[in-house]
């Protein structure tokens, strides 16, 4: 049996099994070996049959009898039945949807069964137990039970695999057992260099595959999982470090630092820069002074001043000419995810740069603008922007007359050409991929410095992994004088009281966000009808029952881009008092008048996501309020939500979320295509740092991994599963 052999040629598969395996993307022997168990049945609860209690997962040893197949009286579900007996008593066995098991086992077989004890109408029974034939079981059942009691120290019972319609965990167990029995792994080569797995005490590939499917004990299973977790993060790091190496091959425009100029520019902001802003600016300017392009991710909560840092970097860039002259034509491209956000940045930059003879352009799907209206001769505060044609804007950008161009993804279209693009700022697009970045490199291999920014709080381990090709800077302080958002956890009995508080704010001219976990109500015929608020229905209910005199708009991801922009513009302009939306407003805009937010079904959001949503109302000097509406009554959920009231910043919440909920549930994590096993590694800072250290070393020594062809092939296949672009 070879690793590349197709499953269909090696196993007898019915139509449903073939479909199930294809759904799981399992086509070959190798694919099957990498389909890891989700857990292991615990044999520490080996019991006498007379001691069994409903609800427990147990292991029993005994002799089977009365085996037969039948169908459920009403459900007509095919099943196998039998009885297992030990010296203390006997219990019925039922295997639902697995009638064939009555033919695999034989009358009088000695077996070990592991399953859940269920209370039936008249008596208890063992449901869908995993089984293992025990032909050498001692005749004296007391010796057998004694052996079983001691076995809990030597191993697990059965691996449990995730099932899908048409295929069972038991099928996976027996299929993989057959592969291992045929010694398919005897000649399998390891793609991780020997010095690395020895250095970190990781098992070889062959050993790890055996231990993860047939561990002798918990320690072996954990060692195997550690090996594959390290491997996944290591592959990501190798790909990211290679991207970084390739990008740094390019030349860049060196931006000379100017301390006095920076200090003068910072005085134009309506607040005193925080220490973390000053530190980030200093590091960014040091990066841009080098002869290879910067690649940096700037993380900071909403309102922490990321735009001010980006504006300062833009200012220093536009001061310099390719030949060193001041106010030349080095250019900045500033990309935002939405037209409204791009427009707001355009207006902010007009305020920051109005004292300088610098042209600023705006390009979106709706049109193009330019500031100042006249090219020269304007006085500070005395000029305004004007609408211009797209062709004219592109012409001025191409010849360098517009040093700062702000826009949406339109910035990276082929028609947009820069003369001397020196800096690219990406706002809330931290997954801006390497393929897109390459589009910005000039034919003469001059690449712009890249400053990517995000308000999404990301745990440090995740940032080091997912954004391994970017250097990290944190803004972990808020400007002085900013009022803290008053956050309250609202139980169902306080809902009406909270609505009255919100009405008082609306009467004072403020605006309200209402965030719901889903867009539409669940269809009970197609999915489980959960008690979860939907944006569409909640907007109708609020208009009818609570906020009759106020205008309510709806915003969600199923709307067209144009419609979304229209709704947001109406909210920005004050035509809507309330915006009922899904979490699509996470990447939001600056609406100072929106000072209240209600988050429905808060237990369904991650802490970091809740914190980011809450940040929508921290844009003004008015007191802001966040009301967390939670239906869950569990103590764990309430404790988790209360952290929103005590945490210092979003980074602290992201780390807490990672520890409490697990990486797989962390908001947005699944979108990257990392496996659950890989996400386990993300929780381990030492493992992430070790994988990063080894990846940096290997890429430094051998950028194309020519000495490690197996590893190179593994990285290529593994990375194709991820969704970083």
pLDDT mean values, one per 10 residues, the chain (725 residues)? 78 89 91 90 71 84 90 79 91 86 86 87 87 70 46 58 86 90 87 93 94 89 92 92 90 80 84 90 94 90 87 91 61 88 88 88 88 54 75 92 90 86 82 62 78 82 80 83 83 90 94 88 46 84 93 89 86 92 70 90 81 80 87 71 79 75 46 65 84 94 94 85 53
259-289+305-454 and 486-648: identical CATH topology: yes
Q: Tokens in use for 4? A: 């590349």
Rg (CA), the chain: 31
Q: What does pTM read for this prediction? A: 0.72
For 337, list phi and psi in degrees, rounded to 5: -75, -20
Q: Tokens in use for 242? A: 């290679």
The fold for domain 45-157 equals OB fold (Dihydrolipoamide Acetyltransferase, E2P) (2.40.50)
Count of alpha carbons within 13 Å of 678, Cβ hemisphere only? Answer: 22
Residue 1: Cβ within 10 Å count:
13
User: Is 229:215 a contact under the CB 8 Å cutoff?
Assistant: no
pLDDT for 429 equals 60
Spatial CB neighbours of 429, under 8 Å, sequence gap ≥ 6? 335, 336, 337, 452
Residue found under tokens 């980030």? 280
* Domain locations in the chain as residue ranges: 1-41+160-186, 45-157, 259-289+305-454, 486-648
pLDDT for 125 equals 93
User: Is 375:357 a contact under the CB 8 Å cutoff?
Assistant: no
pLDDT for 93 equals 93
pLDDT for 282 equals 93
Nearest alpha-carbon partner for 242 in 673, 708, 672, 681: 708
d(CA 524, CA 527): 5
Spatial CB neighbours of 263, under 8 Å, sequence gap ≥ 6? none
Right CATH for 486-648 from 3.10.350.10, 3.40.50.720, 3.20.20.140, 3.40.50.300? 3.40.50.300
Q: Give the H or E element holding residue 264.
A: helix 259-266
d(CA 191, CA 227): 12
pLDDT for 580 equals 94
For 393, list phi and psi in degrees, rounded to 5: -65, -45
In 166-315, beta strands by DSSP E: 295-300
pLDDT for 554 equals 93
Nearest alpha-carbon partner for 419 in 350, 494, 331: 331
User: Is 713:488 a contact under the CB 8 Å cutoff?
Assistant: no
pLDDT for 590 equals 73
Question: Residue 331 forms beta bridges with which residues?
Answer: 421
In 604-668, beta strands by DSSP E: 625-629
Q: Tokens in use for 636? A: 């764990």
d(CA 647, CA 659): 14
pLDDT tens for 406-437 read 998 878 788 889 999 999 999 876 555 566 66
Q: Tokens in use for 512? A: 């309200």
Strand pairing of 110-119 and 57-71?
Answer: antiparallel
- Contacts by 215-224, CB closer than 8 A, 24 or more apart: 215/40, 215/155, 215/156, 215/159, 216/154, 216/155, 216/156, 217/153, 217/154, 217/155, 217/156, 218/156, 221/40, 221/156
pLDDT for 283 equals 95
CATH class of segment(s) 259-289+305-454: alpha beta
Angle at 724 between CA 718 and CA 725, to 5 degrees: 120
Instruction: Indicate the SS3 state at residue 308.
Output: helix
User: Is 475:649 a contact under the CB 8 Å cutoff?
Assistant: no
d(CA 322, CA 251): 13
pLDDT for 85 equals 92
d(CA 141, CA 147): 10
pLDDT for 378 equals 40
């Amino acid at each position: 049996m070879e690793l590349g052999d197709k499953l269909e040629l090696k196993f007898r598969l019915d139509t449903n099994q073939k479909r199930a395996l294809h759904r799981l993307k399992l086509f070959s022997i190798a694919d099957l070996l990498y389909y890891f168990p989700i857990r292991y049945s615990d044999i520490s609860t080996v019991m006498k049959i007379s001691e069994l209690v409903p609800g427990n997962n147990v292991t029993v040893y005994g002799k089977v009898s009365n085996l037969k197949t039948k169908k459920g009286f009403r459900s007509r579900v095919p099943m196998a039945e039998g009885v297992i007996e030990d010296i203390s008593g006997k219990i019925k066995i039922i295997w639902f949807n697995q009638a064939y098991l009555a033919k695999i086992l034989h009358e009088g077989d000695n077996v070990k069964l592991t399953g859940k004890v269920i209370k039936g109408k008249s008596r208890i029974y063992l449901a869908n137990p995993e089984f293992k034939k025990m032909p050498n079981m001692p005749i004296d059942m007391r010796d057998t039970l004694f052996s079983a009691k001691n076995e809990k120290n030597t191993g697990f019972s059965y691996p449990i695999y995730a099932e899908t319609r048409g295929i069972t965990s038991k099928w996976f167990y027996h299929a993989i057992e057959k592969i291992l029995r045929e010694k398919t792994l005897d000649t399998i080569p390891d793609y991780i260099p020997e010095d690395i797995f020895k250095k970190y005490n990781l098992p070889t590939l062959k050993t790890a595959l055996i231990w993860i499917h047939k561990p002798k004990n918990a320690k072996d299973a954990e060692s195997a999982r550690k090996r594959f977790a390290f491997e996944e993060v290591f592959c990501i790091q190798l790909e990211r470090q290679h991207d970084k190496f390739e990008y740094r091959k390019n030349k860049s425009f060196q931006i000379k630092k100017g301390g006095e100029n920076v200090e003068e520019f910072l005085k134009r902001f309506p607040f005193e820069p925080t220490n973390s802003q000053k530190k980030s600016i200093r590091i960014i300017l040091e990066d841009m002074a080098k002869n290879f392009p910067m690649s940096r991710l700037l993380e900071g909560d909403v309102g922490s001043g990321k735009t001010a840092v980006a504006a300062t970097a833009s200012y220093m860039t536009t001061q310099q000419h390719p030949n060193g002259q001041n106010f030349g034509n080095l250019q900045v491209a500033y990309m935002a995810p939405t037209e409204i956000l791009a427009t707001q940045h355009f207006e902010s930059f007009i305020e920051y740069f109005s004292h300088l003879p610098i042209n600023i352009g705006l390009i979106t799907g709706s049109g193009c603008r330019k500031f100042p209206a006249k090219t020269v001769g304007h006085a500070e505060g005395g000029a305004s922007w004007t609408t211009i044609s797209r062709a004219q804007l592109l012409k001025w950008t191409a010849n360098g007359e517009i040093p700062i161009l702000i826009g949406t993804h339109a910035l990276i279209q082929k028609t947009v050409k820069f003369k001397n693009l020196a800096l690219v700022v990406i706002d809330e697009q931290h997954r801006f991929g390497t393929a897109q970045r390459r589009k910005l490199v000039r034919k003469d291999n001059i690449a712009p410095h890249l400053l990517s920014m995000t308000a999404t709080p990301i745990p440090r381990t995740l940032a080091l992994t997912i954004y391994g090709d970017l250097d990290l800077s944190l803004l972990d302080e808020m400007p002085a004088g900013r009022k803290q958002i008053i956050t309250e956890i609202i139980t169902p009995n306080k809902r009406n009281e909270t609505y009255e508080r919100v009405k008082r704010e609306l009467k004072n001219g403020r605006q309200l966000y209402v965030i719901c976990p889903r867009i539409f109500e669940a269809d009970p015929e197609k999915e489980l009808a959960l008690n979860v608020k939907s944006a569409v229905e909640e907007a109708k209910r609020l208009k009818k029952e609570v906020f009759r005199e106020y205008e309510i708009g709806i915003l969600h991801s199923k709307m067209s881009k144009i419609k979304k922009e229209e709704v947001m513009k109406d909210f920005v302009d004050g035509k809507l008092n309330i915006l009922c939306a899904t979490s699509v407003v996470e990447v939001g805009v600056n609406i100072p008048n929106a000072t209240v937010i209600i988050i429905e079904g808060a237990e369904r959001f991650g802490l970091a996501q809740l914190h980011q949503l809450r940040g929508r109302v921290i844009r003004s000097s008015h007191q802001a309020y966040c009301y967390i509406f939670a239906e869950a009554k569990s103590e764990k959920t309430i404790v988790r939500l209360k952290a929103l009231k005590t945490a210092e910043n979003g980074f602290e919440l992201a780390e807490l979320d990672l520890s409490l909920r697990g990486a797989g549930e962390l908001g947005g994590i699944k979108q990257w295509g990392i496996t659950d096993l890989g996400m386990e590694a993300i929780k381990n800072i030492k493992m992430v740092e070790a994988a990063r250290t080894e990846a940096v070393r290997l890429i430094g020594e051998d950028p194309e991994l020519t000495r490690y062809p197996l590893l190179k092939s593994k990285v290529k296949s593994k990375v194709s599963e991820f969704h970083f672009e």
